[in-house]
Chain A
Amino acid sequence: MSSEIINTSVEEYKKLVESLHSENYEMMVDLTVVDWFRKKELRFEVVVQFLSISKNQRKTIKVFVDDEDLSIPSITDIYPSANFYEREAFDMFGINFLEHPDLTRILMPDDWNGHPLRKNYGSGRIPVQFKNAPKVE
């Protein structure tokens, strides 16, 4: 089952999502981010999957986020299911979803530094941080 891919910009993103919602795309299935570190001009690409149950179709929206402010409007008011996914994207990549009701870390501890799924966040090279752990010199 292939899905139609729509590339759009941050400005038109929310309008497009609203039109999809009115076109009977009932579910926002998945929202994730790809980090094109030093590979593409703009670094972060937000990929959102939509599913229309009545029409049995899928659509994918891809948006590149500006490197300066890393922000994109939240679609939680249109699709409440975006809530956890946007929090996850914020936690893992540091994307700001504007007007999100509760944009906090979801998987990592609240006081964690950095965004683990970014490509310049090496795996296995950073000492493990624990909340309130005593410092050992």
Chain B
Amino acid sequence: MKKDTRKNKFKDKFDFWATNSEEGGWNISSTDEGSQKMLEEENEKQIKIQTGTDVIDDFVIDEDTSDDERMIVNMGPQHPSTHGVLRLQAELEGEVVRRVKPIIGYLHTGMEKTGEELNYFQGPTNTTRMDYLSPLFNELVFSLTTEKLIGIEVPDRAKNIRILMTELNRISSHLVALATGGMDIGALSMMIFGFRERELILNFFEKTTGLRMNHNYIRPGGVAADLPDGWQTDIEEILKIIPEKLQDYDDMLLDNPIWKGRLQNVGILTTEECFAYGVTGPSLRASGHSWDLRKAQPYSGIENFEFEVPVLNEGDVFARWRIKVLEIFESLKIVEQAVNKMPKGPYKVQDKKITPPPRKRLDESMEALIHHFKIYTEGFKVPEGDAYVAIESPRGELGCYIVSDGSSKPYRMHVRGPSFCNLQALPVIMTDSPIADAVAAIASLDPVIGDVDR
């Protein structure tokens, strides 16, 4: 589709010069002989060669070339636009990528093995380091799976805090995706803007959890601490500033001809391909299928919030960029509702076997001291069984599969990272497209290598 439009565009453009064709013949006779005659270097073919338009993609795509004209090129693992340590082995023919193979494992740290060594209370410390751009989602999915195995329900305030924090995290994660995506294509201002706005949210996280990333804030049984004093003002500021800044991004990029030229009709992914390769999240929604686990299989009380699921039909890199901007608006709606209806009450389960007592109680109660000691030394026991829980992370379906053998440590802990699965679609996106579009394609899928390699 893309090839044909390009070809026709150039054909129309150069019809003007084809003066000695039959249609244009009358034009010559009406003027002095010789004055309309083109110089040798001004004929159609010469001009095409001079302006470089003769070398369009079809030139190489249509023809068969021999094997020795193909070239294997390694991109990464140390490459700024591969979002970490992703390595791509690409087979090039001229400027066209014929085959590509993602090679991963450069950040593999054996987190699933580590997960078997840590008890359930320590578990979120490990899982939060997987997808380092959306750490709270990793903690949430681990906590939900553990709670499902134990069979407890967390208090309403804990649920609401979880939704508030994860949706803020979704905004910060999408802002990084927009920022690095812009940087890869050359919109450097976008990079500065995205990271600047993310700082607002990270400051709030630091105030609440003590850390900017790897929070270990959402734990089985609730959250680690209550929201800090004056948290409403901080969130009001976020809710006020971020929509203004998003407007700035739209002013800068939405009608920008260079941005559109680089992104539209590039790296198309159809709905069927998304299903086949297990692509979920914003990439699936940009391919025209409305599927959001927050609506379809709600978790942590998100069914009580009003928001919409944006869907775009183009399936190209531009749509995958645009959908992230639209999702930030929806997340802001959820954050606003979470602030307004924040219930009062405990922020963690009052079962002393699962959550440690407050620090102050240790000085006055022997029982509290024993519970505290037990939880911090051996953790709590989880009944036998297995559970798979999935939530909607900023990159797609984030699942956690835990097998328990009745002890205080998981027998097997497996995390289904969305980036790992989405990365399989990269060869589909990149095949038979120019190498210049490869960087845009990687950025649009937004893989986080910590999540891929685990």
Contacts and interface: CB of A to CB of B under 8 A. Distances in A.
Interface of A: 1, 3, 26-30, 32, 34-35, 39, 47, 49, 51, 53, 56, 58, 60, 79-81, 83-85, 92, 105-109, 116-117, 123
B289 A53 contact: yes
B113 A3 contact: no
B289 A79 contact: no
A34 B412 contact: yes
Interface in B434-454: 453-454
A107 B454 CA distance: 9
A29 B277 contact: no
Contacts of B276: 79-81
| Chain B interface mostly | mixed
A61 to B, nearest CB: 12
Nearest to A25: B275
B319 interface: no
Interface in B173-206: none
A81 B277 CA distance: 4
Given A29-B390, A39-B405, A107 B421 contact: no
A51 B293 CA distance: 11
Interface stretch (B88-96, B104-112, B325-333, B361-369): B104-112
A108 B297 CA distance: 34
B104 A30 contact: no
Contact of B105 (A1, A32, A109): A109
Given A84-B421, A106-B104, A108-B105, A30 B275 contact: no
Interface residues of B, number: 37
B105 A30 contact: no
Nearest 6 pairs between A and B by C-beta?
A: A81-B278, A107-B105, A1-B297, A26-B275, A30-B416, A107-B108
A136 to B, nearest CB: 23
Given A39-B405, A81-B276, A84-B424, A29 B399 contact: yes
A49 B388 contact: yes
A34 B411 contact: yes
Contacts, number: 81
A4 B403 CA distance: 16
A135 B453 CA distance: 27
B399 A83 contact: no
A51 B278 CA distance: 10
Given A60-B388, A107-B454, A108-B105, 14 more contacts: A27-B275, A27-B278, A30-B416, A32-B414, A34-B411, A34-B412, A39-B405, A58-B388, A80-B276, A80-B277, A80-B424, A107-B108, A109-B105, A117-B113
Contacts of B110: 116, 123
Contacts of A80: 276-277, 424
A81 B388 contact: no
Contacts of B399: 29-30, 49
Nearest to B103: A106
Nearest to A30: B416
A92 B453 CA distance: 12
Contacts of A49: 388, 399, 401, 416
24 contacts: A26-B275, A27-B275, A27-B280, A28-B278, A29-B390, A29-B397, A29-B421, A30-B388, A30-B399, A32-B416, A34-B411, A35-B412, A47-B386, A80-B277, A81-B277, A81-B421, A84-B420, A85-B421, A107-B104, A107-B105, A116-B113, A117-B113, A123-B114, A123-B117
A1 B298 CA distance: 8
Of A1, A56, A106, A107, which is in contact with the most chain B CB atoms at under 10 Å from its CB? A107
A3 B388 contact: yes
Contacts of B117: 123
A21 B348 CA distance: 42
B55 interface: no
Contacts of B116: 123
